[in-house]
């Protein structure tokens, strides 16, 4: 599970990098092509100059076609937000999570009944939880308990409507201020070469931000860590075609 997680994290990062680079590159090439067309109108009618210009245009167009393919690749990682019953999602993956972190750390769940569904990509949220639970395990080398919980809460100013908080709490080493400040950066890791990729929290951060929520880390050295994923409540209108899952849903037992 560890290797599969690292692989998924790398793919995610590659997708993000590729998408970002391809997007910027495409804009540059469009500017180059625009300038070349302006130049064509001003060039003296010299066949050698025009051929040079055509070469430049062709090169830029080939580059643009390539960036289109890169964008298509990156878009495969795009999110599919849907109404997600958090308590059910966690219940369905508790066995998998427990197997992924081994027997030294016990998983406890705390979900109040009647929480509304969150609007988020379910598969990506599973990956995010796996990342958080593995981090919790790594922070408790002597073993312990990791608690996964959810609660309803208010959004911050600027966030739309009510929010849900899905949290993963450990009683492990905690983080000092310097580590806490950088923990969500891509490739930041304190776990050493071959052990950490530094992509776990950046993935969780990216998912939360793209879902119009946020990732909040609360931690003190020696006092453990809580990672909170804040997500918007799925409003019936926000669910589009998937609304059938919403109004009739009963609180999970």
Chain positions contacting ligand ADP, by CB under 6 A: 131, 135-136, 139, 170, 172-175, 179, 183, 188-191, 196-202, 225
Q: Cβ closer to ligand ADP: 29 or 199?
A: 199
CB of 98 to ligand ADP, least distance (A): 17
Q: Cβ closer to ligand ADP: 202 or 211?
A: 202
CB of 2 to ligand ADP, least distance (A): 10
**What is the SS3 assignment for 35?**
helix
- The residue with its CB nearest to ligand ADP is 200
**What is the SS3 assignment for 149?**
strand
Question: Rounded to whole angstroms, how far apart are CA atoms 137 and 102?
Answer: 9
Name 153's bridge partners. 163
CB of 125 to ligand ADP, least distance (A): 16
Question: Rounded to whole angstroms, how far apart are CA atoms 9 and 3?
Answer: 10
Q: Cβ closer to ligand ADP: 161 or 222?
A: 222
CB of 240 to ligand ADP, least distance (A): 32
CB of 173 to ligand ADP, least distance (A): 5
Residue 144's nearest CA partner among 180, 91, 108 is 108
Q: Cβ closer to ligand ADP: 163 or 201?
A: 201
Q: Cβ closer to ligand ADP: 29 or 140?
A: 140
Torsion of CA 60, 61, 64, 65, to 10 degrees: -140
Q: Cβ closer to ligand ADP: 25 or 188?
A: 188
CB of 81 to ligand ADP, least distance (A): 23
Q: Which helix (H) or strand (E) holds 167?
A: strand 163-170
Residue 229 backbone phi and psi in degrees, to 5 = -100, 115
Place of tokens 């966030």: 159
CB of 87 to ligand ADP, least distance (A): 22
Residues 6 or more apart whose CB falls under 8 angstroms from that of 158 comprise: none
Question: Rounded to whole angstroms, how far apart are CA atoms 212 and 229?
Answer: 11
Place of tokens 């609360």: 218
Q: Cβ closer to ligand ADP: 17 or 65?
A: 17
């Amino acid at each position: 599970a560890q290797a599969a997680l690292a692989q998924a994290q790398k793919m995610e990062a590659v997708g993000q990098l590729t998408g970002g680079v391809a997007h910027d590159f495409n804009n540059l090439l469009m500017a180059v092509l625009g300038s070349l067309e302006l130049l064509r109108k001003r060039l003296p009618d010299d066949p050698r100059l025009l051929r040079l210009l055509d070469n430049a245009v062709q090169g830029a167009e080939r580059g643009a076609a390539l960036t289109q393919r890169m964008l298509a690749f990156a878009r495969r990682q795009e999110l599919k937000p849907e109404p997600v019953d958090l308590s059910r999602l966690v219940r369905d993956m508790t066995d998998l999570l427990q197997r992924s972190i081994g027997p030294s750390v016990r998983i406890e769940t705390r979900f109040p009944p009647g929480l509304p569904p969150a609007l988020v990509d379910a598969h990506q949220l599973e990956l995010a939880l796996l990342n958080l639970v593995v981090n919790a395990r790594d922070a408790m080398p002597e073993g312990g308990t990791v608690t996964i919980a959810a609660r309803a809460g208010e959004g911050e100013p600027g966030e739309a409507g009510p929010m849900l908080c899905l949290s993963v709490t450990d009683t492990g080493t905690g983080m000092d201020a310097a580590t806490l400040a950088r923990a969500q950066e891509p490739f930041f890791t304190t776990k050493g070469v071959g052990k950490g990729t530094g992509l776990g929290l950046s993935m969780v951060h990216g998912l939360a931000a793209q879902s119009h929520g946020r990732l909040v880390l609360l931690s003190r050295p020696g006092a453990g860590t809580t990672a909170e994923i804040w997500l918007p409540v799925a409003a019936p209108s926000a669910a589009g075609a998937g609304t059938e899952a919403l109004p009739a849903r009963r609180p999970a037992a």
